[in-house]
Amino acid sequence: YMLMILMQTAEKVEREDSSFSSVSFVNKETLRGKTALIEATRNGHLLAVRLLLNWHADVNYVTTLHRKSALAWARQLRVDGDVVAELQIASNVLRDIKDLFISISLGRV
């Protein structure tokens, strides 16, 4: 079922965006303002969320249309707590890495 959701999302993006490529679709926004990660999140599919994060889906991507990230959707729709936790962990890791790179570039580490 998880793969079906991913394939449907990829097909929507492919139809809507002529620059589609099999690698980059995970961070593409459809005309409806959703990414594959947001769709997986909204439907509470933990395994799909994990898979997309492993494929480098941007957990902090805020859509142009709805101005929400996957984590914002998860909280608003009160999806499964495990999905929220997975997104929160990914978001925290990215924030920590960014802070580390800033510290290194400023010579603080």
CA–CA gap between residue 81 and residue 85 (Å, rounded): 6
What would the two tokens of residue 104 be? 């290194």
pLDDT tens readout for residues 13-69:
555 555 544 546 678 888 888 888 999 998 888 988 998 888 888 888 888 888 999
Q: Could you tell me the two tokens for 65?
A: 């249309």
**Domain holding 59: CATH number?**
1.25.40.20
Q: What is the dihedral of CA 77, 78, 79, 84, to 10 degrees?
A: 110
The predicted pLDDT at position 101 comes to: 65
The whole domain housing 79 covers 2-105
The total of other beta-carbon atoms located within 10 Å of residue 45's CB is 20
pLDDT at 93 over 60: yes
| pLDDT over 80 (residue 72) | yes
* Counted domains in the chain: 1
